[in-house]
Every structure is written in structure tokens, then in C-alpha cells.
Amino acid sequence: MAVTLYSNQLTEQRAAANTPSDTNEQGGRLRYAYGKYTTNASTGLADGTTVAMVRIPAGARLVSLKVTSDSMGSSSEACDVGVAGADGSGYYNKAETSLDDIDLISADLDMATANVREEAIVTEAAVGITFDKEVFVTATAETDAWGTSADAYFEAEYVLD
């Protein structure tokens, strides 16, 4: 079998200058971040409230995100999954051209059923983003308030160095 086409990274590596790929694309280390949030026992979590779940360091590329939760209450419980600059600037990039985005990673993720493990589908806008500054992956309650004394767990995998 003859190979006739190459990925962008392999094309760069095969060039006369032998341009190395970024380490978050080839040869980088897979890292893991975990976050758990427990809603208040008496009030739950109000619709529209945003919680920072995990930290992704500058220079990292998000590979996958898994979400697990207790039952958050009614059948319409959901959350948006996004990013926010960890510095509180309102932007998730150094140039301050990309505003924090509550659903950059996924919109309307089902949180109603207990112990559902969902692979948060990374939206087209978030594919291949390398964060040039430290960011938080966020969960924003939507539709109804999240139930009381319920846990949400985020597990993020990212590539760095």
C-alpha cells in the first residue's frame, strides 16, 4: 500500500526543514484533572450559576472530558460546559480576543439521570484549541436549578509538554 497523503503534522515533519510538531500534538504527555462539586443541601444550584470544575494549564490542548453526576432532580436538568480564563479577566486567551464561553465545549449536557457517564462532545469551535493561558473548564446550570446535595464530577484529559 502506498501512502499518498499526510496529516499536517507529518507534512511538517517530512519537510526539508524537518519542522517538529508542537508537543501537545505529538510526543506530549497526557495529563488528568479531576473536579467534584456538591450542591448545597438546602438550596441546590440556581439556574445560570457557573462552577469552575477543573484547571487546564497554559499550553495544553484538551483531549477529552467525561462528566458523571448524581440525579440532579427533574428530567430537564442540564448544564453547559465551557471555559473561562483562570485570571478572571473575562477572556480565555492572552490577546483578550476570545470572551469566556459557557458552552464552548458542550451545550445542554444531560444531568438528570443518576450516574450517567457522558463523553462531553467537544463542539466544532473548541476542536484543536491550545489554550495559551490557564483556564477553568466550567459547568453552568441551565433549564432548572440542580437538585440538593447532588454531586457532579468532571474528568478532563489534556496534552502538555
Count CA atoms within 13 Å of residue 139 on its CB side.
31
Q: pLDDT digits over 74-99, tens only?
A: 666 788 899 999 999 999 999 888 99
pLDDT at residue number 134: 95
Q: What is the mean pLDDT of each run of 10 residues along the chain (161 residues)?
A: 76 72 74 90 81 93 83 71 93 90 84 63 70 93 73 87 77
Burial group, residue 97, by CB count within 10 angstroms (0-12, 13-18, 19+): exposed
Residue 1 is predicted with a pLDDT of 67
Please report the pLDDT score of residue 87 as a whole number. 94
Domains of the chain and CATH, by start? 29-160 (2.60.120)
Which grid coordinates are listed for 105?
A: 465545549
Which of 121, 137, 117 lies closest to 51, judged by CA? 137
The tens digit of pLDDT for each residue in 116-129 reads: 555 666 666 676 78
Cα separation, 85 vs 98, in Å, equals 10
